Chains A and B, each alone.
Chain A
């Protein structure tokens, strides 16, 4: 945040929402990164993610009823992969907040929130498909865009495409 620039109203709303979650869960969360383009916080204790998400969805003053987007991201420098969830209280309170979670780069696992937002179902499958993160508690953890017998996680930065797929040469 540049000095002298007023904090916009939407960031203030996000900060207010964050402080309520923080009050409840304390050290399970990182401090809020109140940037203008996408204010976010990170869930440090990922095991409590479903509990936190449930609180965010159902608390009367939070009501994050809409999961706009769930993105997978690769952090090769930290040897981690993660997800970013963009939440919004659609048509109710209007505030927005993004949440980040990270896990180990190979064979990592995160709790699934598909039981809370249907949107997460396919998005988590997509992250599993392209980044290799498994989601514990997901009803149908299998690939969605790539074929079921595809090898590797294509969106990892060091991904090398397989030499052949069912006898067909892949790299061109």
Chain B
């Protein structure tokens, strides 16, 4: 975190010169001003309010105010049966609904202690990784817009549309799928689905390079992100960061590799961490680069899934779904690697009811956003926009 020593110089006006903040004027007759960013502000990616205390252009404190999208997810869960919670999980992180469903289904399956057919596992991983790419495309596209690069956004949404089309074909819905059920899937994938996915992979691979060039060779984009909002790895862990945020700080930690679930141990992929050549480790640019690399790794995973997928002969996607879901008394904390980090579900069952006693979603965005106060201190207002964008929040998951 970059802080400027302004003690004894009164209020100052600062500017950035070759990646350093320098004081241009001092002893200015200004007073602290409260600047409210949001709740309707394009750079906050939803309804988030940031109450910033500013001294000139420098932020002395930024306090996030949440809850504008609070829908009592956890209270709802206590009032419906286990399978009926799946559509609610879609609405947590609506940009990667497949991943949320996957995490929830796994948590209940752990309580139930049931075996899942192998083809189901492969399809789950396949659709989750497709959704991860779609989610990262939104993250990268809107991040470009935040920083004034409009073209990448259009490229991202063009390609994301193909993924949404594929997922719609499989599940019937564009964004909120209700596809991964406890113990199975709503449907098997359609005939020729895998062929189309492979076509998409072949189409999209060169596009990732193109997209990357558009942003990381853009001088303005680099200036706005390089060395901004640096988070040291120890502090990131203490804040409970996960996913691309944590990896952006150089911690090689990916639940798909480090706490493996489903069929991920059989798949070959690289955990993306920045190498520190082009970016300062832990800055906004690193976090962006991690997402860019992850898209390519997801493509690799998708290809392997297609190659290794067991045949659909005699396959029933609902064969392992229990008739009545009533787990034995107990509790579980289960998590999965979402595009935004660790999505965990704490579920408690009393063994009698078909509804959970308690179902808590540990939201990755909520935790990642909590570091805002530390990250924003001493930054310029435009840099604050760059920092929020790099956190990649989805308010549906923050507020639940």
For residue B367, which residue of chain A has the nearest CB? A119
B67: interface (CB < 8 Å): yes
CA–CA, A91 and B374, complex, Å: 23
CA–CA, A76 and B150, complex, Å: 54
| Partner pick for A117 among B66, B240, B252, CB 8 A cutoff | B240
A154 B331 Cβ-Cβ under 8 A: no
A86 B240 Cβ-Cβ under 8 A: no
Chain A residues positioned under 8 Å from B111 (CB to CB): 37
For residue B374, which residue of chain A has the nearest CB? A118
Output the least CB separation between B37 and chain A (Å). 18
Output the least CB separation between B265 and chain A (Å). 15
Contact bitstring A68-106, B, C-beta under 8 A = 1, else 0: 110111100000000010100011001000100000000
Given A118-B371, A122-B370, A154-B75, are A90 and B67 neighbors across the interface (CB < 8 Å)? no
CA–CA, A27 and B241, complex, Å: 33
B346 A86 Cβ-Cβ under 8 A: yes
Q: What range describes how many residues of A lie at the interface?
A: 20 to 34
For residue B327, which residue of chain A has the nearest CB? A37
A29: interface (CB < 8 Å): no
Chain B residues positioned under 8 Å from A21 (CB to CB): none
B269: interface (CB < 8 Å): no
A66 B75 Cβ-Cβ under 8 A: no
Chain A residues positioned under 8 Å from B75 (CB to CB): 154-155, 159
B371 A73 Cβ-Cβ under 8 A: no
A38 B342 Cβ-Cβ under 8 A: no
For residue B360, which residue of chain A has the nearest CB? A71
A109: interface (CB < 8 Å): no
Chain A residues positioned under 8 Å from B334 (CB to CB): 37
Chain A residues positioned under 8 Å from B66 (CB to CB): 144-145
B110 A37 Cβ-Cβ under 8 A: yes
Output the least CB separation between A42 and chain B (Å). 13
For residue A68, which residue of chain B has the nearest CB? B344
Chain A residues positioned under 8 Å from B240 (CB to CB): 66-68, 117-119
CA–CA, A153 and B240, complex, Å: 26
CA–CA, A144 and B369, complex, Å: 13
A69 B370 Cβ-Cβ under 8 A: no
For residue A88, which residue of chain B has the nearest CB? B259
For residue A40, which residue of chain B has the nearest CB? B331
A107: interface (CB < 8 Å): no
B129: interface (CB < 8 Å): no
| Partner pick for B331 among A37, A94, A130, CB 8 A cutoff | A37
A91 B253 Cβ-Cβ under 8 A: yes
Chain A residues positioned under 8 Å from B332 (CB to CB): 37-38
A122 B238 Cβ-Cβ under 8 A: no
CA–CA, A155 and B76, complex, Å: 10
Q: Which of B's residues lie within 8 Å of A, judged by CB?
A: 66-67, 70, 72, 74-75, 110-111, 234-235, 237-240, 251-253, 258, 330-335, 342, 344, 346, 348, 358, 360, 362, 366-367, 370-371, 374, 399-400
8 additional contacts, CB 8 Å, given A37-B331, A66-B237, A72-B360?
Answer: A37-B110, A37-B332, A84-B346, A91-B252, A118-B235, A118-B374, A119-B240, A155-B74
**Which 5 residue pairs are nearest across A and B when measured between Cβ atoms?**
A119-B240, A37-B332, A69-B362, A122-B370, A145-B67
